[in-house]
Amino acid sequence: MPETPQAPDIDDEGYLINPLDWSEDLAREFARQENIDLTEDHWDAIRFMREYYAEHQIAPDVRHVIKHLAERLGPESRNKIFELFPYGYVKQACKIAGMKRPRAWSTG
């Protein structure tokens, strides 16, 4: 049985306090809690978000992730992020990718 990763500090909504505590194992656990089976498209979005965060120290706006996925999957994939994370970019994608809860954003 796999070892449970050391639980990092999370806020009362389940978001990481420190995005540097993120790991792929933690992403899998957050996804499990959201009933999401991570596919390669999920990982592509998550890795893009992590790279953007590393460069800018802020979670990317959803439009940046939509553009990234469209460049890889084609323009018809405009709504792919919402298929991957049906309960919302902030609620699911940001949480699974280990972002802090974006303060000024809606939960969409």
pLDDT band at residue 48, thresholds of 50, 70 and 90?
very high
* Domains of the chain by residue range: 39-96
Q: Dump pLDDT digits (tens) for 7-36.
A: 799 999 899 999 999 999 999 999 999 999
Q: Dump pLDDT digits (tens) for 80-108.
A: 999 999 999 989 999 999 998 877 654 44
85 contacts 40 by C-beta, under 8 angstroms = no
Which pLDDT score is estimated for 107?
A: 45
Burial call 52-68: b when 16+ CB within 10 Å, e when fewer = bbeeeeebbebeebbeb
Task: Determine whether domain 39-96 maps to CATH 3.50.50.60.
Answer: no
Q: Per-residue pLDDT averaged across 35-39, rounded?
A: 97
Q: Which two three-digit tokens encode residue 71? A: 């460049």
Q: What is the Rg, in whole angstroms, of the alpha carbon atoms belonging to the chain?
A: 13
Least confident span in 22-26, 50-54, 59-63, 98-102: 98-102
